């Protein structure tokens, strides 16, 4: 396993990080613990979770994923071996769907305080290594929204209040470091500006979507990640499983995420399908599975700190972790570049 520094911190995180959002929904606590046991045996030391997990979010299951990790800590006593990241939920457009989270989550000081207290209780720990804002408070383009439509009336809680509240948690030791997720270049720069000018906690990571079908991070945010020492924690590196190849040809495996949850339509378009088939051909030509090639591509990017994999079966987990040991040749990368030029970012 390779390791990289988490931003400017002294923490070395595994290049393959363990995503967890299926635990408590598609996976029970025993399966979650089995995944954690195996991942740690392979050198994975970075777990990423969120207070709203599992996904799809619901009042009935909210917090179950953090509880799975807390149970594993309780059983194994390995809390100090893990670099643990969780997230505070951002404002929801449809507030009625989120009443179970503090009556409708916001990124205010009060909400952030209550959120971290709930997470720590479920995780059975007294601190988290990385606390992330799950998505912006303001109205902007994230979660697959193309284009930007300025709406200052939708700004809500100012980033300054959010970062000040996070900085208080750092000062108290409840949180070691802070990060952002699903952010734009302007948002990241605002966090960095405030940290610099007002002596607040500095963002050490950006957790955004990044995969062969969705590479918008490379425009604007990649340079920022490198220059500002706030590397990418790449989520959805297999594009909801599309880049495993299991849906090629219109297949819909029983029990798969796309079969269970029709809300995941981000990659469901003809361009994404054509690009996936082209990437599959490259992988087969060079003796890789599409899964391996897709994950290895993410891991090789200089702005990536950790590639966050997720799995519902042990077989998937093993293949995903194995991909972290691969290095794609210049020839493979060139062929990938050609497909990207043909189908540039077919999914938002």
**Residues involved in catalysis:** 53
Give the count of beta carbons closer than 10 Å to the beta carbon of residue 94. Answer: 7
Determine whether 143 is exposed, middle or buried from the number of CB atoms within 10 Å of its CB (0-12, 13-18, 19+). exposed
């Amino acid at each position: 396993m390779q390791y990289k520094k988490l931003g400017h911190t002294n923490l070395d995180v595994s290049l393959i990080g363990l995503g967890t959002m299926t635990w408590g929904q598609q996976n029970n606590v025993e399966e979650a613990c089995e995944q954690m046991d195996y991942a740690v045996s392979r050198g994975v030391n970075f777990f990423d979770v969120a207070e709203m997990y599992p996904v799809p979010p619901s009042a009935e299951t909210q917090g179950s994923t953090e509880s799975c990790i807390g149970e594993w800590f309780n059983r194994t006593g390995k809390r100090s071996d893990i670099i643990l990241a969780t997230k505070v939920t951002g404002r929801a457009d449809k507030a009625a769907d989120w009443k179970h989270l503090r009556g409708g989550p916001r990124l205010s000081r009060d909400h952030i305080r209550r959120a971290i207290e709930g997470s720590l209780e479920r995780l059975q720990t007294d601190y988290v290594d990385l606390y992330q804002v799950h998505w912006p408070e303001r109205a902007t383009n994230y979660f697959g929204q193309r284009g930007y439509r300025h709406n200052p009336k939708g700004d809500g809680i100012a980033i300054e209040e959010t970062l000040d509240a996070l900085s208080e948690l750092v000062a108290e030791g409840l949180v070691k470091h802070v990060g952002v997720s699903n952010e734009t270049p302007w948002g990241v720069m605002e966090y960095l500006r405030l940290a610099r000018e007002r002596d607040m906690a500095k963002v050490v990571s950006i957790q955004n979507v990044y995969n062969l079908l969705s590479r918008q991070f490379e425009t604007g945010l990649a340079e920022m990640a490198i220059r500002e020492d706030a590397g990418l924690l790449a989520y959805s590196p297999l594009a909801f499983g599309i880049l495993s190849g299991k849906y090629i040809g219109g297949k819909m495996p029983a029990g798969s995420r796309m079969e269970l949850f029709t809300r995941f339509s981000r990659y469901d378009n003809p361009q994404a399908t054509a690009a996936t088939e082209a990437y599959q051909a490259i992988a087969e030509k060079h003796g890789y599975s599409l899964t391996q090639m897709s994950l290895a591509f993410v891991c090789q990017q200089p702005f990536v700190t950790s590639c966050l994999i997720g799995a519902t079966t042990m077989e998937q987990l093993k293949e995903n972790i194995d991909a972290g040991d691969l290095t794609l040749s210049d020839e493979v990368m060139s062929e990938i570049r050609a497909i990207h030029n043909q189908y540039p970012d077919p999914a938002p």
